[in-house]
Structure 1
Amino acid sequence: MSVTDRAIEMIKEMIVSGRLSPGARLPKEDVLAERLGLSRNSLREAVRAMAAMRILDVRHGDGTYVSSLEPHLLLETLSFASDVSRGAAARQLLQVRRMVEPQATAAAAALIDDARLRELREILDRCAAAESVEEFVSLDNEFHHTIAATVGNPVLTMLLRVLSVRTHQVRVARGADTEAALQSAHREHESILRALRARDPQLAGAAAAVHVAAVEQWLGECDGQEE
């Protein structure tokens, strides 16, 4: 284990043990370095790494604080894994999405109100009028994120946002080759919206499962062409 990794583990242990709570300010650099038996350079590297992981919040001119440590905040760091995933790794991420999104959509069907239904209708209307693949895919993501947000669980919303990144990137990269897939996606979105409007959790979950399975198959075909 490198000195920096050891420093990270030591600071994490302080947080896990409760010696540093969410929102707490870390001791001054020289004090903390001496307490942990580290050089100030090693401590700085550890702090930078933990700030990138959203565990610490460096406020220039004020000090370094433990972040809120809210799960949805920490999940943001997973977006990089989704960004760079290819082949089997990308399919594994989508498999997780297939397990989670139908349940989220079913939960949304039991909670959704008329205002949110109008919002989803407007998004799909914009999808139908989209003039580019990029615009369509952006609205596709907005549609799914809006449904997830209906559940009122920011952890769930962020997790599904992370899981959809790879699909977004490949769709844009494939350009015109995605036209048929995007048309199918729009039809599947309409099915999901009908189920939500009926406030039928079982039907909404099934419609979402069909949609994600189709996306998974399409993504596998795209990755196969790239290999």
Structure 2
Amino acid sequence: MAVTDQAIDKIKDMIVSGLLEPGSRLPNEADLADQLGLSRNSLREAVRALTALRILVPKQGDGTYVSGLEPHLLLETMAFAADVSHGRTAHQLLEVRRLLEPQATALAAGLLTERHLAELRTILDRAAEDVDIEEFIRLDIEFHRTIADSVGNPVLSTLLGILSTHTQRLRIVRGAHHAPAREQAHREHEAIWRALVRRDAGLAAGLATVHVAAVEDWLASAAAPGTG
């Protein structure tokens, strides 16, 4: 194992064991390096890596702190991996989305307020206009995020956002010849909205399953030889 990886593991062990609690300040560099049996260079590399993962947070002029370690914030570091996913990896992400999103939509059917439903209606009306592909994708993301956020679980919201990023959605819609893909997606969104208005959790979940399955189908078609 590389020295930097060992340093990362040692700091993580301190956090997991409770020696460093969420929000606590790390000892000064010299003391921590001595405590962990590391060189200061290795410690710096480890701190940089853990900062990128949002496990540590540097504060200008005040040292480095353990972050609040909120799961939804830590999960956001996965977004880049989802953004650059292609082929089988992208398909696997959509499979996981197909497992989670229908359940989130079913839960939302009983939790969406009238304000939420009005927001969804506004999003749908805007998406039906002659907007460019970037705006359509932004509205698509906003539609699903509004539904997921109504459940009140930021971990779930973050996971669903990661499982289908802006870049991934744009690539799929373009690969599926964006006009038909947009029309189909809009019809499916309208159907989901009507089910949510009726507070029909089972129907909303079923429609969400069909919707994500259609996205999977577009991805498979775009990846097939001689297409796209």
Relative to the length of structure 1, the TM-score reads 0.96
Quote how far apart the aligned CAs of 1:62 are: 1.1
**Any residues of structure 2 matched to 1:81-160 within 5 Å, and which?**
81-160=81-160
RMSD between aligned residues: 1.5
Quote how far apart the aligned CAs of 1:130 are: 4.1
Q: How many residues align?
A: 226
Q: Which SS does the other structure have where 1:57 is aligned?
A: strand
AA paired with 2:41? Answer: N
Aligned partners of 1:170 and 1:222 also within 8 Å? no
Residue of structure 2 equivalent to 1:72: 72
Aligned partners of 1:14 and 1:20 also within 8 Å? yes
Q: Distance in 2 between matches of 1:127 and 1:97?
A: 22
Q: Point out the more displaced range, 68-77 or 164-173.
A: 164-173
Relative to the length of structure 2, the TM-score reads 0.95
Aligned partners of 2:84 and 2:168 also within 8 Å? no
- Is 1:168 matched up with 2:169? yes
| Structure 1 unmatched ranges of 5 or more | none
Quote how far apart the aligned CAs of 1:213 are: 0.4
Residue of structure 2 equivalent to 1:21: 21
Identity of aligned residues (%): 60
Q: Distance in 2 between matches of 1:137 and 1:68?
A: 32
Quote how far apart the aligned CAs of 1:224 are: 2.5
Q: Distance in 2 between matches of 1:108 and 1:168?
A: 22
Q: Which SS does the other structure have where 2:30 is aligned?
A: helix
Quote how far apart the aligned CAs of 1:51 are: 0.5
Higher helix fraction (1 or 2): 1
Q: Distance in 1 between matches of 2:213 and 2:89?
A: 16
Q: Distance in 2 between matches of 1:69 and 1:59?
A: 16
Q: Which SS does the other structure have where 1:111 is aligned?
A: coil
Quote how far apart the aligned CAs of 1:223 are: 2.4
Quote how far apart the aligned CAs of 1:59 are: 1.3
Quote how far apart the aligned CAs of 1:160 are: 0.4
